[in-house]
Amino acid sequence: MYTEWYATEYFSQYAPFKDWVTGNLVQSTNVYDAWMLLLNLSPRRDARVTVTFFYEDEPPRDYTFTLPAGQQGRLHMQGEADNLGTNNLPPGCNPRKRFGVRVRSTVPILVQATVGDRLPHEHVTNSMSTFYYHPGPLGELEKQWYYVDCVYLTREGMALEEREWLTILNPNPVDAHCTVTFIPGGDVAIGEGQARRVQEEPVEYKLTVPAERIKPTDLADWPLVQPNHPYAVRVRSDVPITVQGIRHIFERGKYEYSRAWAVLDARPVADVEE
């Protein structure tokens, strides 16, 4: 128990994306400082920890280290020192790419992620999020995941724009065959005392995540998923996976630097009996 943990995605500023106003590719200048925080829960035994980094387009890479008994440890997944002077980018971690992580330990540990963004050449954080890894080992329950807050915004005349990515981590030695379902919804009508019924049908996409890879998808690349429309998301797989969403918030027409971002936490959920 508590000897295996997963983070679906640590994201990167280096991948360009399309500017919805001009149609040109834009290279973000955000710098994302990402950390892995670990706590050895054993007061007497050192933990031998193996961290595996998973990528979209290259094989996984391992890094192993010892975390002393009863001690906290920090890994900084960035090539330059942070504000505490920590400069310990682990071998196998490439912060120029999106990557997922698996952590395995010989004794129980807790593992937490912290990510903050800043302007280049500055060390003042603009926004920050922290979240626990998902505990393993992965099993039948992790073949179905949900998250409920899914939306991306783009509209002429609106100052705010949002981009949303859905990422699946497949740590298995075989491909994961997945079905992603977008369940439409909407506001609660306060005066009526109920949520408004929607006319749209669920939107479904099928995709394959190669063995020991991550697969991030910009929701704007799925044309049936409408902008400015709220959904819940269900991901089903034939093998255990982990799932996470990332939303970046921009000022319309200014995509070189995001104003903020959010981690959209997903949960594994068994089928509900009728």
pLDDT of residue 192: 83
- Quick one: which of 152, 159, 180, 111 has its CA closest to 247? 152
CA dist., res. 38 & res. 113, Å (int)? 9
Judge contact between 87 and 100, C-beta under 8 A.
no
Write the single-letter amino acid at 124.
V
Walking along the chain (274 residues) 10 residues at a time, the average pLDDT comes out as: 96 80 85 95 98 97 98 94 91 94 98 93 90 96 97 92 96 98 91 82 96 96 94 98 95 88 94 79
Domains for the chain: give ranges and CATH numbers.
4-268 (2.60.290.11)
And the tokens for 90? 């682990």
* Three-state DSSP state, 90: coil
Q: Residue 191: what pLDDT? A: 83
Comparing CA positions, the residue from 272, 188, 260, 243 lying closest to residue 6 is: 243
Strand-pair category, 242-251 with 144-150: unpaired
Instruction: Count each helix (H run) and each strand (E run) in the chain, helices first.
Output: 0, 22
pLDDT of amino acid 18: 80
Report pLDDT for 123: 86
Global pTM reads: 0.95
Cβ contacts of 117 within 8 Å, gap of 6 or more: 13, 30, 31, 32, 33, 125, 126, 127, 128, 258, 261
Answer whether 204's CB lies under 8 Å from 181's CB: yes
How confident is the model at residue 274, as a pLDDT?
65
